A and B are shown apart, each in its own frame.
Chain A
Amino acid sequence: MKLTFPHVLLAGLMVSTLSAAPAIGAETVKIGYIDPLSGAFANVGEAGLKQFQFVADDINKRKLAGDVKFEIVPFDNKVSPKESLNVLKNVIDQGIRIITQGNSSGVAGVLIDAINKHNERNPDKSILYLNYAAVDPDFTNSKCSFWHFRFDANSDMKMEAFTNYIAKDPKIKRVYLINQDYSFGHAVARAAKEYLARKRPDIKIVGDDLHPIGKVKDFAPYVAKIKASGADIVISGNWGNDIALLIKAAKDAGLEAPFYTYYGGGIGAMTAMGDAAEGKVKQITEWHANIHPNKTEKFANAFNAKYGGPPANISFYYLRVNNEMYMLANAIKEAKSTDPKAIALKLEGMKYEADTGEVEMRATDHQLIQPLYISTVAKAYHNPKDPKTAKFKGTDPEVKYDQEDSGYGFKTDARIEAYVTAQPTSCQMKRP
């Protein structure tokens, strides 16, 4: 039950085939992907897995890591911190030395602790942890670790950008916060209150809800409360079904207030929100399909052509997964080694020309400093010359792509340059 049976079998098979075939020169590096593949957030975990596999294929095909090939090995942790520790043991037993995880800072927190301990006791079997989405600021501040690298902007960086944007709008007077009740949700709520108090002391926080993560199926009571509070805007760090169902409930009740979200464009959300989101749901991300210039366009189209079909209609979403994997490939090539410590030393301070501009893995705290975009849901552009856009209804050519086959995409409100998003860190990193 700890690990889905087919995966164990598959991994076993692979080990046996690998040892049977003499591999000369070429080495396969396994990357353990630890995320929910069952339960309330399975759709998010599945989509992330497909992105990792797709970019790993690209790296293998183009030999970006030299002779080293990547293989993504999926592990289901059901977003449970306890389950993740069991999975980590399994990963270690299988001899996998690099893991990646993103969903839930609750999980990320225990993984960092466990990996620190493991690496201290077994320096020759150390594990490298690449975090693509867990954004609790602590991980690159008080809890920072040499073995942990974060490729997403942390929640404080995103909130700084959001509140700068909100502060400029004098019509916003009342703000409602609704977040998941765990470390990340708390971090979002705390940062929102702190930053708004500093930038716009006249703004009143009219609600500060924390609800159990992944448990609420009916957000109608929360929406009734938001409505009653007279909020001008709602800020939410919710992800997965928790944002999709929240906005669905808001749509059903005819709530007018715009949503400033971290993951409004996340997996499944657009499908659930539909036309209710138009002009109302904003997100802050490192990428969306309609940024300009969009150097990821071809890659995203290739991904969508492969996985975009029904029933899930997944759209390319995580540019940071690409950044993470390409930077890992570069680090391996530069280090001429697949040893986690050698890779980590190369990743530290690495500058990389990403599709959205130069990004830097800050050496002091292992936080990637990258440009961010604030964007709003808009109707995708109906181009009379392109039959593929026949069902789109928008008139703005900037919104070229929709998401999840919904007819709605994102339109950029603002780009925030990398250096603007950077924040001071309290990290005092212990290096081995």
Chain B
Amino acid sequence: MEFFLISMLNSVSYGLLLFMLSSGLTIIFSMMGVLNFAHASFYMLGAYFAYQISGWIGFWPALAIAPLLVGMVGMAVERYGLRTVHKYGHVAELLFTFGLAYLIEEAVHLIWGRSQVPYAVPPSLEGAAFTLFSTDYPIYRVFMMAVSVSMLIGIYLTLTRSRIGLVIQAALTHPQTVETLGHNVPRVFMMVFGGGSALAGLAGVIGGNAFVTEPGMAAAVGPIVFVVVVVGGMGSLAGAFLASLLIGIIQTFSVALDYSIVDLLAKLGITIGPDAPLAVVWNLTISQTGPVLPYLLMVLMLIFRPKGIMGTREG
């Protein structure tokens, strides 16, 4: 019971962080049709900006300033990069964001070096929030969850209740009409891209010190973010939310499952010796294959339900 509850909390906090990362990607994709390969790089930038700023003026100002800075970088990228490339079609856009990811990584190498930086959790957020049976649950994880949930509510309210949200939603399906009504659609796109990047930046601010801030962090989360978006359904925020939690649960609980195909067959009365062909494969436990499972889920999803959990478009 203790193990189950703690693991559940761990999966939810990890899933929420994933959601924070993928929400920006999915918003950008649904609005602009741009699959942003550099999205995880904005996550990394958020972490590095927060490290730098918290060194100067503390963590709390960094929590607000770093995502804003990342958002501004995002807007600049949209305004001076993507918008220019847009007229050459989707392939050009894809290649542009792909190159951008490398560019950002090299810039990080140049500025902060190739090694990790000591970006630590602030002392006020260290320690245990509560003790469940005999396991402490760290304050910082509770804080991460609180930030993610408030962000989730924030986006939801902005998109559904505010005027900007209305314009954004309208621009999504009927850009020409919105333009005729006198709204500056390219500017809306720029803000959406900036907003999406800022969300990734925010995830970086709180993910960077929970884990490690290093130049490889973008490459480490990049693929998993795409899995979330594909499994959740391209462009669906609710889908991304469900998929993030699902992947959080899969990754956390798979660690606990020490069963292999050999064990399974043994239950059915079939024994596979260590000399059997491909014995290494049959002896792999679920916990060892844990890191691959999300990708397996993505492949299965693409085969059996290409539009994802909540996606609206087929194929």
Contact = CB atoms under 8 A, between A and B. Distances in A.
Interface in A204-220: 207-212, 215, 217-218, 220
Contacts of B217: 217
B256 A38 contact: no
Contacts of B7: 221, 224
B187 interface: no
Contact of A212 (B141, B210, B291): B291
A220 B10 contact: yes
Contacts of B6: 224, 227, 253
Interface stretch (B19-27, B113-121, B171-179, B262-270): B113-121
A414 interface: no
B135 interface: yes
A307 interface: no
Contact of B116 (A37, A42, A208): A42
A224 B220 contact: no
B142 to A, nearest CB: 11
A145 interface: no
Contacts of A39: 114, 214-216
Interface in A236-287: 241, 245, 252-255, 268, 271
A420 interface: no
Interface string B14-47: 1000000000000000000000000000000000
A210 B140 CA distance: 27
A40 interface: yes
B114 A37 contact: yes
Interface of A is mostly: mixed
B177 to A, nearest CB: 45
A82 interface: no
Given A252-B136, A253-B135, A181 B116 contact: no
Contact of A42 (B131, B214, B291): B214
B212 interface: yes
Interface residues of A, number: 35
Given A43-B115, A245-B212, A254-B131, A227 B2 contact: yes
Interface residues of B, number: 39
A221 B118 contact: no
Interface string A30-60: 0000000111101100100000000000000
B114 A228 contact: no
Nearest to A267: B115
A310 to B, nearest CB: 8
Contact of B128 (A181, A228, A254): A254
B259 interface: no
Contacts of B137: 253
B43 to A, nearest CB: 12
A225 B114 contact: no
B180 interface: no
B114 A38 contact: yes
B109 interface: yes
A311 interface: yes
Contact of B114 (A42, A222, A245, A312): A42
Given A40-B216, A215-B291, A221 B252 contact: yes
B60 interface: no
Given A241-B116, A254-B131, A221 B255 contact: yes
14 contacts: A38-B114, A42-B116, A76-B114, A209-B255, A211-B288, A218-B10, A221-B253, A224-B6, A225-B3, A225-B255, A227-B3, A252-B136, A271-B118, A311-B117
Closest 9 pairs (CB-CB, A-B): A254-B136, A228-B3, A38-B114, A217-B211, A42-B115, A221-B255, A252-B138, A221-B252, A220-B10
